Amino acid sequence: MVQAKIAPSLLSSDFARLAEECERMLSLGADYLHMDVMDGHFVPNLTLGAPIIECLRPHTKGFLDCHLMVSNPEQWVDDFARAGTDLFCFHIEATTDASALIDRIHALNMKAGIAIKPKTPVTSVVPLVHKLDQVLVMTVEPGFGGQSFMPECMDKVRELRAQFPDLDIEVDGGLAPENIEVAAQAGANVIVAGSSIFKASSPRDVISLFRKTVNDAQPTQA
């Protein structure tokens, strides 16, 4: 049975205090630190890259869950491995040989994840799940924080959970206290949230609520 893993998105943090923000999230109960990497090409926004991960790594022992919203993710595998990334998650839409990329990620001692956009069918990733450590189902269009959760994406989560009961299934985009139950009941167990954690009056309470809701949902899944 999978367990909840809560991954605050540092895209919503104070970038001038990034290391402190990471440690604050861990002290409040976070399991992962979700790093949104955007190249201004695959998505229209531009955020951070491997040099920032490398600078951050000595200051935190947290699990760096790096979500690369980039074209040609193969180009960046070595840099992110050297920087100290724990999990390298790339978009299935951005590569022509996902299987080879997974092998390369694993060869560099990182965990491998694949992300799929809201309009990408889940069948695109199913043949690769046996090689993956995590699948990320986007619940907004990638590229910007603060968007509204798309509940229709939960069908993909349900399909994955039915086929792969032990898979870490991550959801990212618009997750908040008012919709965490929907995601948890669908089978998501790795919860990415930015605004709803960082802007909360009590981020600890939101992280605790997410964890409890996900873990309480596990026994009821098929």
Active site residues: 36, 172
Q: What six digits make up the tokens of 128?
A: 């690769």
Full DSSP string of the chain: ----EEEEBGGGS-GGGHHHHHHHHHHTT-SEEEEEEEBSSSSS-B---HHHHHHHGGG--SEEEEEEE-S-GGGGHHHHHHHT-SEEEEEGGG-S-HHHHHHHHHHTT-EEEEEE-TTS-GGGTGGGGGG-SEEEEESS-TT-SSPPP-GGGHHHHHHHHHH-TT-EEEEESS--TTTHHHHHHHT--EEEESHHHHTSS-HHHHHHHHHHHHHHHGGG--
Q: For 148, which DSSP code?
A: P
State the Cα–Cα distance between residues 13 and 203, nearest whole angstrom.
Answer: 12
Answer left, alpha or beta for residue 204, where phi above 0 means left and psi between -120 and 50 means alpha: alpha
